[in-house]
Structure 1
Amino acid sequence: MTTTPPSQITGYAAAWTIVFVWSFWLIVSKVAGDSGLTIFDLAALRYGLASVVALPLCLYFKPWRGLSLIQIAIISFILGPLYILCVFAGFLFAPAAHGGIFMNGVLPLVGIVLGVSLFRTAPTTRQMLGAVLVLISAIVLAWDGTSTQNAQAWIGDLLFVVGAVFFSFYVILSERWKLGAMQIIFCGTIVNAAVYLPVWAVFLPSGFADVPMGPLLLQAVYQGFVPNLMGLLFIAHASRTIGTANTSSILAAVPGVGGILGAVILGESLNVVSICALVLLTVGLLVSVRRRQRPPV
């Protein structure tokens, strides 16, 4: 007898909510460069504003009690400035749609590679087939975008892939270590704010003084609260309840939604080749998603 536990239902709901939230985040991050903010400013908003909300909660729940120093260091590094600065830098070179393609679109493939190489986790035939379809579509989309829009887009694409590797490690470890919501927030927000904000304030270039209030508020809300609070909480819940493979596959739907939003809102190219590649990517995602039979041990 097979039934779907309520926790799995909420896990799928959390993953699909993030698909739409992150699709808009791609657009907001792409237009950040036009506001006058530097990528270092965006990282400061990400860690600084989220920590204002997170600090009282962490002081109350004391989530560090359930973590070793090594675990705190690893999770904080994975979700730290190196990861997010690579992502923000990618938007300086590549279209917004490429952020979804090369961060979220390749997650199933990256997850398979890391699972096999680090944890000896054998992928299923469906996962392999889906990952291959996703990879083919990503290559086609990258080639089409580079050849028709921006010869430097490949630089952004590589930076996005680096971000995908970081995030895949986070998804895998959050499931294997069964990290709680407050533990994720503590490592991803509080620790990184304590490390990064002093360095940014003293050494890194900033454009805060010249940014109009409207664009600043948009970036503050979306960079400061959406990814580090809502995003981390929802992804942690999804990875624990429906598994790493399903979570990664669902999140990889972001490229299709992001491509459409990029075309509609930013006027980015979405020609016949791009549309066909996005359809192939969607098929690959549907093939990759599998029903989770039992929780990991």
Structure 2
Amino acid sequence: MVHSLLAALFSLILYSSSMAELTRFFHPAKSDGTLSLLAIGDWGRNGTFNQSLVAYQMGMIGEELDIDFIISVGDNFYESGLRDVDDISFEESFCKIYTAKSLQKQWYSVLGNHDYRGNVMAQLDPILKQIDSRWLCMRSFIVDAEIANFFFLDTTPFVKKYWKNPKKNQYDWREVAPRKRYISSLLKELEIALGESAATWKIVIGHHTLRSVSEHGETPELVKLLLPMLINYGVDIYINGHDHCLQHISSTDSFIHFLTSGGGSKAWRGIIMPTMENLQFFYDGQGFVSLQLSSTDAEIKFYNVFGDVLHQWKITKEFYDYIV
């Protein structure tokens, strides 16, 4: 365990882009050029609502696939994020739950709307990494994993309704307000980064849905402001949580695949609302997603709390050598 933790720490080489301000991390692929990872969201409930069962299966699948890291798509701690850096929820919902040897890898995490209801600065504080070295949570950042670039986005500030009724839920907008300036800056940085990316796979991660047939449906602000950019720059996959289910939706007007991995704990909401998009898979329960990437293929699988593969498919990219 110590060796894997040290390896993860040394592999995280922080570097700055000369053109974009998004923080970048380097995470090497395996020696054969492949990459394996898990994605999970909406999980932090002290092990309840099957969180512990999902964690157990993540450990089993993580070992089978020899995963390189884990992605958390937000709503990391319920119901209202963390109180401060000493909040016991960090250990009770994270450190003591994801204990399998295969899960002792770097966790890359973004914030969800429930995280914003707590002390956001606590969840972003480097002190948490001293408690558990796996933890890395930032508002927005990029992970360069050689064959793939992962763009992690802070989507909560995009949603206007969170700003309009502070009496219902208090949101921690420190370092975010004013909203329009923050979003404008983030989108400009993202566009530069997407334009610079020469990776085979471009994968964007955010908490909120772009396409969904479940309770929250589409997020209008993201459909308007973010989706056109993802299409324009050839993004392959968008991964989100927010809806507490598992979904795979393919686009009718682009090559983007929309994956929902929000089954980390509380689920079974019983809501499905078909849309005009191509629904490939929907499961209204707990589970998680795996991605296995190579220079030509991406294989994605959805698992339930028993480790059963509920849905899988493969994307293949063909590259041609042109003779002039």
User: Which fold has the larger relative contact order, with Cα–Cα distance below 8 Å and residues 6 or more apart in sequence?
Assistant: 1
Give TM-score scaled by structure 1 length.
Answer: 0.27
Higher strand share: 2
Higher helix share: 1
Give TM-score scaled by structure 2 length.
Answer: 0.26
